[in-house]
Amino acid sequence: MKRPDIAVVGGGLLGRCLAWRASREGAQVALYDAASSRGEGSAAWVAAGMVAPTAEAVDADPQIHAMGRHSLALWPQWLAQLPVPVFYRDHGTLLIWHGEDAGEAVRVERMLASRRAHADIRRVERARVGDLEPALGPRFQQALYLPGEAQLDNRELLMAVAVALEDAGVDCQWETVMSDEALPAAGFVVDCRGMGARREWPNLRGVRGEIVRLHAPEIELHHMLRLLHARCPVYIVPRADGRLVVGATSIESDDHSPVSVRGALELLTSAYSVLPALAEARILEFNTQVRPALADNVPALHVDRQRKVLHINGLYRHGFLLTPTVVEEALALLSTQEPSTTVGRWPCLRENRSVAFSGADHREVQGCRSS
């Protein structure tokens, strides 16, 4: 087989989306991943699939909000180009809190204002909360409504992109482990292995998340819900067919073991405090995931010119939020050997637009890092 223009190592969300978009631009692409085409075992397989830039702006670097807003605009375009449908809904997010946590709501509003995300939020009173989300009833006196935020079915997306890769003739080598010493031959290799690339990223760390999937057909939710709580926050994400994804846990650990009893109790208790009707929901599965994060929780790219490898890592818990934007930047680097004029609109890129493959033998491309 002819040597591909681009070989993507790591077929999680970022890797397979990058391979798909590169193939659409006419590149000859090969993809290698240790898992199957279903993506089981990857962080993306377990995730809730939220694209919520304003909700994440509460605790994230300001760049995350700007990059996430761009991804929010790109996802519908990408989904329309896939050969099979993927569940997608952009009804927005409701941030809610119990009376004793009103101080946390004030902190969140101030944080969003300081990060210039306040234009995306609307405070609503009790009656309006019930109108927006009847399942909540009158239990919450106020809420913050973040219109336009979206979610998609993460597992449907992984499978749809796998089908698109097959249709495009991408050479997909599933269940194939690639080591640092034996990267594939290609015009350029893109390393998207996440935690599997720790050797290239000394500061990479794992952040564990715990998620439960429920079946509650009697509960109809129209929005993503996020409970503001200093110790036990929780999000509830509605899916099709009466399914719900519940999560929140972020533990500084690369432990892949099953969910603990304490973790399960805290997660379910927090969710129950939002929707008491969940008492009759059926637990479909508990899952854990370990997401790759860098010191500032912002993704980064760097180029090894000698080996012709582009390394991308550190998407943290923002995989679905940031993937389209990061893929755009990566393809700009691969096609022009320097950041394109279009990505220069991001504040985090402007000072580094002169960085290109022709630079130092091993130079970090600060395209998605804080300055």
Tell me the per-residue pLDDT of 121-155, one tens digit each, with 9 for 90 and over: 889 999 899 999 999 999 999 999 999 999 999 99
Average pLDDT of 73-100?
97
Whole-angstrom distance, CA of residue 175 vs CA of residue 188: 21
> Residue 337 — very low, low, confident or very high, per pLDDT cuts 50/70/90?
low
Taking only Cα atoms into account, the Rg of the chain, rounded to an integer number of angstroms, comes to 21
Q: Which residue has the tokens 């119990």?
A: 98
Q: Is 90 exposed, middle or buried (0-12, 13-18, 19+ CB in 10 A)?
A: middle
Type and span of the H or E element at 154: helix 154-167
Whole-angstrom distance, CA of residue 230 vs CA of residue 172: 44
How far is residue 227 CA from its own chain's centroid? 19
Given this model, what pLDDT does residue 328 score?
93
Whole-angstrom distance, CA of residue 107 vs CA of residue 366: 30
Average pLDDT of 12-21?
98
Q: Does 358 score more than 90 pLDDT? A: no
Could you say which architecture CATH assigns to the domain 93-147+205-293?
Answer: 2-Layer Sandwich (3.30)
Q: Which long-range contacts (CB under 8 A, 24 or more apart) does 184-187 make?
A: 184/4, 184/7, 184/9, 184/30, 184/32, 185/3, 185/7, 186/3, 186/4, 186/5, 186/6, 186/7, 186/30, 186/308, 187/3, 187/4, 187/5, 187/6, 187/308
Which tens digit of pLDDT belongs to each residue from 268-311? Answer: 999 999 999 999 999 999 999 999 999 999 999 988 888 899 99
Annotated domain spans of the chain:
6-46+154-197+296-368, 93-147+205-293
Q: Where are the beta strands (DSSP E) in 3-51?
A: 6-9, 29-32, 50-51
Helix (H, G, I), strand (E, B) or coil at 229: coil
DSSP for 297-333?
S--EEEEETTTTEEEEE--TT-HHHHHHHHHHHHHHH
Decide: pTM greater than 0.85: yes
Given this model, what pLDDT does residue 354 score?
27
Q: Does 20 score more than 70 pLDDT? A: yes
For residue 273, the number of C-alpha atoms closer than 13 Å in the C-beta half-sphere is: 20
Whole-angstrom distance, CA of residue 334 vs CA of residue 25: 11
Given this model, what pLDDT does residue 115 score?
74
CATH topology classification for 6-46+154-197+296-368: Rossmann fold (3.40.50)
Assigned token pair, 149: 């935020």
Assigned token pair, 316: 């943290």
> Residue 113 — very low, low, confident or very high, per pLDDT cuts 50/70/90?
confident
Assigned token pair, 8: 């993507």
> Residue 250 — very low, low, confident or very high, per pLDDT cuts 50/70/90?
confident
Helix (H, G, I), strand (E, B) or coil at 258: coil
Q: List, in sequence order, every residue forming a beta bridge with 29; answer none if it has no partner.
A: 6
- Residue 305, Ramachandran bin (φ over 0: left; ψ between -120 and 50: alpha; else beta): alpha
Residue % of the chain over a pLDDT of 70: 89
Q: Does 98 score more than 90 pLDDT? A: yes
Average pLDDT of 310-316?
95
Residue % of the chain over a pLDDT of 90: 71
Assigned token pair, 50: 């939220």
Among 26-40, 161-175, 341-355, whose mean pLDDT is lowest?
341-355
Which tens digit of pLDDT belongs to each residue from 203-224? Answer: 999 999 999 999 999 999 999 9
Given this model, what pLDDT does residue 27 score?
95
Q: Return the amino acid letter for 333.
A: L
Assigned token pair, 146: 């973040």
Average pLDDT, the chain: 87
Given this model, what pLDDT does residue 353 score?
31
